[in-house]
Amino acid sequence: MAVRLIDVARRAGVSPSTVSYVLSGNRPISAETRRRVEESIAELGFRPHAGARSIRRQATNVVAMVLPMFADGQGGVQMQFVLSALRAARARGFNLLLLTAEDGVAEINNLVSSAMVDGVIVMEIQVDDPRLPVLGELQRPVVLIGTPDDREGLVHVDFDFAAAGAMCVRHLLDLGHRHIGLLGQPADTFARQAGYALRAREGVLGVLREHELREVWAPAQPNPAGVAEAIEELFGQDPDLSALVVYNEQALPFVLERLKQLGMRVPGDMSVLAICPDDQAEHLVPPVSDVALPSRELGRLAFERLAGLIGGEEQPVSTLLAPQLKRRGSTGPPRRGR
Partner DNA sequence: TTGAAAGCGTTACCAT
Partner DNA sequence: ATGGTAACGCTTTCAA
Among the candidate windows 97-105, 179-187, 210-218, 321-329, which touches a copy of itself by CB under 8 A?
A: 97-105
Side-chain-facing half-sphere of 306: CA atoms under 13 Å: 31
Complex with a copy of itself: residue 95 or 193, whichever CB lies closer: 95
Longest dimension (CA), the chain: 90
Choose from a copy of itself, DNA, none: what does 313 bind? Cβ within 5-8 Å by kind: none
Residue 313: count other Cβ atoms within 10 Å of its Cβ: 9
Q: Does 21 bind DNA (CB under 7 A)?
A: yes
Q: Which stretch binds a copy of itself (CB under 8 A): 18-26, 104-112, 172-180, 202-210?
A: 104-112
> Binder to DNA among 15, 100, 261, 324 (CB under 7 A)?
15
Evaluate whether 14 touches 33 at the Cβ level (below 8 Å).
Answer: yes
Comparing CB distances to DNA, the nearer of 4 and 87 is 4
Binding status of residue 111 toward a copy of itself by CB under 8 A: yes
Q: Identify the CA nearest to 164 among candidates 326, 322, 2, 337.
A: 322
Shortest Å distance, C-beta 305 to DNA: 25
> Given its phi and psi angles, is residue 62 left (phi above 0), alpha (psi -120 to 50 degrees) or beta?
beta
Residue 213 binding partner per list a copy of itself, DNA, none, with a CB distance cut-off of 5 to 8 Å that depends on partner kind: none
Is the separation of the CB atoms in 330 and 289 below 8 Å? yes
Q: Which of 10, 11, 33, 202: binder of DNA (CB under 7 A)? A: 33
Sign of torsion over alpha carbons 35, 40, 46, 48: negative
Q: How far apart are CA 338 and CA 329, in angstroms?
A: 20
Residue 117: left if φ>0, alpha if ψ -120 to 50, beta else—which one? beta
Q: Minimal CA–CA distance to 135: which of 96, 167, 106, 92?
A: 106
Stretch that binds a copy of itself, among 106-114, 147-155, 237-245, 313-321 (CB under 8 A): 106-114
Q: Of 24 and 324, which has the nearer Cβ to DNA? A: 24
| Separation CA 258–CA 246 (nearest Å) | 13
Q: Among residue numbers 54 through 113, which ones bind DNA (CB under 7 A)?
A: 55-57
Q: Please, which residue, 57 or 327, has the CB nearer to DNA? A: 57
* 116 binds a copy of itself per the rule CB under 8 A: yes
Long-range contacts of the stretch 126-132 (C-beta < 8 A, 24+): 126/192, 126/193, 126/194, 126/195, 127/193, 127/195, 127/198, 128/193, 131/104, 131/105
Question: Cα 108–137–151 angle (5° rounding)?
Answer: 100
Which is closer to a copy of itself, CB of 121 or CB of 205? 121
Q: Which residues is 325 bridged to in the sheet?
A: 291
Is 325 one of the binding residues for DNA (CB under 7 A)?
A: no
Q: Please choose which of DNA, a copy of itself, none residue 74 contacts, taking the beta carbon within 5 to 8 angstroms, the exact cut-off set by kind.
A: a copy of itself
Smallest separation (angstroms) from a copy of itself to the CB of 89: 9
Closest approach, Cβ 172 to DNA, in A, equals 58
Contact call for residue 35 and DNA (CB under 7 A): no
Positions touching a copy of itself (CB under 8 A) are 2-3, 45, 47-55, 60, 62, 67, 71-76, 78-80, 82-83, 86-87, 90, 95-100, 102-103, 107, 110-111, 113-116, 139, 223-226, 253-254, 257, 280, 283-285
What residues line the site for DNA (CB under 7 A)? 1-2, 4-6, 13-21, 23-24, 26-30, 32-34, 46-49, 52-53, 55-57
